[in-house]
Chains A and B, each alone.
Chain A
Amino acid sequence: MTRADPAVTASSLGKRYGDVVALDDVTFDVRVGELFGLIGPDGAGKTSLFRLLTTVQLPDAGSARVLGLDVVKDYRAIRSRIGYMPGRFSLYPDLSVEENLRFFASVFGTTIEAGERLIAPIYSQIAPFADRRAGALSGGMKQKLALCCALVHLPELLLLDEPTTGVDAVSRREFWDLLETLRADGLTIVASTPYMDEAMRCERVALIQHGRILDIADPRTIGARFDRPLLALRSAERLRLLRALRALPDAHSVFPFGDAVHYADARADRDGSTVAAGLQRVLAEQGIRDVQVTPIEPGIEDVFMELMQRAPAATA
């Protein structure tokens, strides 16, 4: 494989469990050295996709290549060259931090010392707890240890299935900081998350829902996919505001969004500030006072919801 070849190529991947379609015609690739995000809710198919890429399960349709190798034929070679962190806490709770790391190193036929270069910055953060049982670590520490275990054999590709689920906001931030450091070091990383705010840490993201990829884009420019005027409205009477907006004939979508309500207009060609003025008038007529209306740039979550509504209903 040469530098130009993608680290991961998936072509029309399909996977079903009985009647449930987990993955349906999934096609994408991940460039070498990229931090690629799989963004989607639980049950969207993220874990299934990881299981196919890590060669633990076989695709029912399509094919995939990881580091230039076929996931079905060359699974042994792939396994020794990737690092994988499954979604669940996958360490031995009754072994100490150091024992866990040592064990996973030897499983890959290597030692902690040989993996030093890649894991040193992460391991230094958990080293003070080297003798503590893994089960007694905090959520953030556990994730860091699991990351060390996945990196100790110096893999070329790191696959992380929801690494930050159940971890507090500070630790999540620190974890993504670590991933960015690793990427800067040249490692290719594919990570999944159900949380849209983490998407911004990735170079490109695939939005995934009901086993299908809705879109693949740069999270910083994905807002351009949203082709309608979008406005944020704030009022003390939030629930009344929501109901009033939904009742409007030109409402395309109305969602609560933190302390605001996001309103997308059905008239795609209208200018945001024109729509804003119109809304202000109508809402005032209905007696909802002190409404602030601001035209805004759509974020990844707005786009995701828009794409979800456009996509055909669940395949199940």
Chain B
Amino acid sequence: MSSRTGGRVRAPRLPSALGAFVRKELHHIVRDRQTLAILLLMPLVQVLLFGYALRTDVRDLRVAMVDPTPDVLTVRLRNRLESTPRFRVVSTATSTALLEDQFQRRVADVALVLPTSFADGLARGDRTPVLLVTDASDPNSGTTMQSYVRAALADFESDLSAPGRGPVRIQVASRMRYNPTLESANLFVPGLIALVLTLVSALMTAISLSREKEQGTLEVLLVSPLRPWQIIVGKVLPYLALGFAITCLVLLAARVVFAVPLRGSLTLLLAESVLYTIVSLSLGVLVAARTTSQRAAMLGALVGTMMPTALLSGMIFPISSMPGWLRPITNVVPARWFIVIARGIMLKGAGLGILWHETLVLAGMALLLLVAATRSFHARLD
């Protein structure tokens, strides 16, 4: 009987077996049109929703100035604000008495309250306090407005700090009216990337792997000479690619729709996204290994990965405002670290030199979870 096989060793040659596996997986992905459409459209819709919801028309910020002791310097500050298209000074008063009324009648968006003898303080080089009051009842614009005024004040500060003179320091105290816990608009996009990557990687891998279990095809694969890790890699690679494509899509959309900045390196951001995707994929495999039905795998992935990503990563609720006992727990949520990294790269232009700590944590998680996922996936059914 050995004439049939001629004693040929038939361990699968990795590249071809893996290539076939990846091709098969891509077929599954592409042929499930509905799911694919949802996967591709959902991030776009989210970007659009967030984008438009967050768009604030900062061209015409109405500023109410309160200047108890007007002098040359305060007039200069006022002119400076007026000179940009962004600001329109709607009133100048010597007391704050009218402010409440102005906010309620919605004739002012921001109030800039200068202290008495503002100019004297600046001249002495003291930290000179100013108060910034914002109408944040429109939840989108509060922070944005504040940051623009802050930026204008900072410019003004540096104008005055001519070389050879002591530094001029304006200390801005801000107060948000009506909605004090706002997060900044741009902070949303990194969170969105994390959410979408988690969805594509963890949820979709968990579902597709448990589908093979339900279908009975996994049994055939197990009986084949493929090793468990080969099956996992074959499963995971296409979703890694899909996740990568979607990340690019979100970044592009975010930039086009509402000009989210990318101040740091795109390559670094994409590399970190891949790292995060690996973490999520491993979580998906772990979930699938521990569940027996598609339904259970889906719920497991939702509760185990999507919920922490949305709620405990700092994407929606700032970690700093969480109760003390909850904060340490957020450290095990991979998205928490990824969001810090992505925000750092996109908004602050930070490089690996600054973000190495978070990257290391993420890499550690990736390694740990990959090993755990491969281990959980036995060569046998029991």
A and B touch in the complex (CB under 8 A): yes
Complex: how many Å from CA A89 to CA B226? 20
Which residues in window 105-154 of A have CB below 8 A to B?
A: 105-110, 149-150, 153-154
* CB-CB under 8 A for A56 and B380, given A80-B10, A156-B4: yes
A32: nearest residue on chain B (CB-CB)?
A: B1
Binds B, one of A38-46, A90-98, A199-207, A221-229: A90-98
* Chain A residues closer than 8 Å to B21, beta-carbon distance: 103, 106-107
Q: Which of A54, A75, A92 contacts B24 (CB 8 A)?
A: A92
B321 interface residue (CB < 8 Å to A): no
Check: B215 CB closer than 8 A to any chain A CB.
yes
**Which residues from A are CB-within-8-Å of B10?**
80-81, 108-110, 153
Q: Give the contacts of B245-278 with A (CB-CB under 8 A).
A: none
Most chain A CB within 10 A, of B16, B28, B220, B226, is at: B220
Determine which residue in A89, A90, A99, A109 has the highest number of CB atoms from chain B within 10 A of its CB, and name it: A109
A193 within 8 A of B: no
Which residues of A in the span 70-108 have a Cβ within 8 Å of any Cβ on B? 75-76, 79-82, 84, 86-95, 99, 102-108
Contact A94 B27 (CB under 8 A): yes
Chain A, interface size category, equals 35 or more
Within 8 A of B (CB), among A250-304: none
Residues in chain A near residue B379, CB distance under 8 A: 75
Task: Flag whether A173 is at the interface (Cβ < 8 A).
Answer: no
Set of chain A residues within 8 Å of B221, measured between Cβ atoms: 107
Known: A80-B225, A86-B220, A156-B4. A107 touches B20 (CB 8 A): yes
Docked CA distance A84–B217 (Å): 11
Is B12 located at the chain interface by the 8 A CB criterion? yes
Interface centre among A33, A81, A87, A150 (most CB of B within 10 A): A81
CA of A92 to CA of B379 in the docked complex: distance in angstroms?
Answer: 21
* Residues of the A chain whose Cβ atoms lie less than 8 Å from the Cβ of B217: 90-92
Give chain B interface residues in 292-327, CB to chain A under 8 Å: none
Q: For the side of the interface on B, what is the size category?
A: 20 to 34
Q: Does A315 contact B (CB under 8 A)?
A: no
Q: Is B126 an interface residue (CB 8 A)?
A: no
Inter-chain CA distance A140–B17, complex, in Å, is 28
A89 adjacent to B31 (CB under 8 Å): no
A103 contacts which chain B residues (CB < 8 A)? 20-21, 23-24
By CB atoms of chain A within 10 A, which of B2, B16, B217, B381 has the most? B217
CB distance from A35 to the nearest CB of B (A): 15
- The answer, yes or no, to whether A3 is at the interface (CB within 8 Å) is yes
Complex interface: chain B residues within 8 A of A102 (CB): 20
| Known contacts A86-B216, A88-B216, A110-B10: A54-B223 contact under CB 8 Å | yes
Q: Complex: how many Å from CA A153 to CA B223?
A: 13
* Interface: B57 (CB within 8 A): no
B113 to chain A, nearest CB (A): 65
Q: Which residue of A lies closest to B215 (CB)?
A: A90
**Contact assessment for A79 and B24 in the assembled complex, using a CB-CB cutoff below 8 Å:** no
Q: Tell me if B382 and A58 are in contact (CB < 8 A).
A: yes
**What are the residues of chain A within 8 A of B104 when measuring CB–CB?**
none
Interface membership of chain A positions 145-178, coded 1 if the CB is closer than 8 angstroms to chain B and 0 otherwise: 0000110011010000000000000000000000
Give the nearest-CB partner of A95 in chain B: B27
Question: By the criterion CB–CB under 8 Å, are B12 and A86 in contact?
Answer: no
Contact call A107/B224, Cβ cutoff below 8 A: yes
Contacts of A81 in B (CB 8 A): 5, 10
Residues of B within 8 A of A150 (CB): 220
CB-CB under 8 A from A153, the residues of chain B are: 10
State the Cβ distance, B225 to closest chain A Cβ, in Å: 4
Q: Which of B11, B221, B223, B381 has the largest number of chain A CB atoms within 10 A?
A: B223
Q: Is A183 an interface residue (CB 8 A)?
A: no
Q: Is A11 positioned at the interface, with any CB of B under 8 Å from its CB? A: no
Chain A, Cβ-Cβ closest to B231: A107
> Inside 8 A of A3's CB, which chain B residues have their CB?
1
- A15-31 near B? 1/0 per residue, CB < 8 Å: 00000000000000000
A88-B216, A89-B216 given as contacts; is B11 within 8 A of A51 (CB)?
no
C-alpha gap A51/B381 in the complex (Å) = 9
* CB pair B220 A156 closer than 8 Å: no
B219 in contact (CB, < 8 A): yes
Contact A82 B223, CB 8 Å, known A88-B216, A89-B216, A90-B217? yes
Q: Which of B4, B27, B223, B226 contacts A99 (CB 8 A)?
A: B27
Which residues 361-382 of B sit at the A interface, judged by CB distance below 8 A?
Answer: 379-382
| Interface flags, B14-34, vs A, CB<8A=1, else 0 | 001101110110011001100
Are the C-beta atoms of B11 and A57 separated by less than 8 Å? no
| Given contact pairs A92-B24, A103-B20, A109 touches B11 in the complex (Cβ within 8 A) | yes
**Assembly CA distance A54 to B216 (angstroms):** 14
Q: In the complex, what distance in Å separates the CA atom of A54 from the CA atom of B381?
A: 11
Q: Which of B19, B219, B382 contacts A90 (CB 8 A)?
A: B219
- Let me know if B381 and A56 touch, CB within 8 A: yes
A62 interface residue (CB < 8 Å to B): no
Q: Tell whether B165 is near chain A: CB-to-CB under 8 Å.
A: no
| Structural contact, A99 and B381, CB atoms closer than 8 A | no
CB neighbors of A among B10-65 (8 A): 10-13, 16-17, 19-21, 23-24, 27-28, 31-32
Binary interface profile of B, 172-194, with partner A (CB < 8 Å = 1, else 0)? 00000000000000000000000
Indicate if A55 sits at the interface (CB-CB under 8 A): yes
Q: Is B123 an interface residue (CB 8 A)?
A: no
Partner of B4 from the list A51, A80, A88, A154 (CB cut-off 8 Å) is A154
B222 contacts A by Cβ under 8 Å: yes
Question: How far is A144 from B156 in the complex, measured between Cα atoms in Å?
Answer: 81
Whether A80 and B382, one on each chain, are in contact in the complex, defined by CB atoms closer than 8 angstroms, is no
A156 & B1 in contact (Cβ 8 Å cutoff):
yes
What are the 6 closest A-B residue pairs judged by CB atoms, nearest first? A106-B20, A109-B12, A88-B216, A90-B216, A80-B225, A80-B10
- Given known contacts A76-B225, A106-B16, A107-B21, what 11 new A-B pairs fall within 8 Å (CB)? A56-B222, A80-B10, A86-B216, A86-B220, A92-B24, A92-B27, A95-B24, A102-B20, A103-B23, A107-B226, A108-B12
In the complex, 19 of the A-B residue pairs with CB atoms within 8 angstroms, ordered by the A residue number, are A33-B1, A56-B380, A56-B381, A57-B380, A80-B225, A87-B216, A89-B216, A92-B27, A92-B215, A103-B21, A106-B12, A106-B17, A106-B21, A107-B12, A107-B21, A107-B221, A109-B16, A156-B2, A156-B4
Instruction: List residues of B whose CB falls within 8 A of some A CB.
Output: 1-2, 4-5, 10-13, 16-17, 19-21, 23-24, 27-28, 31-32, 215-217, 219-226, 379-382
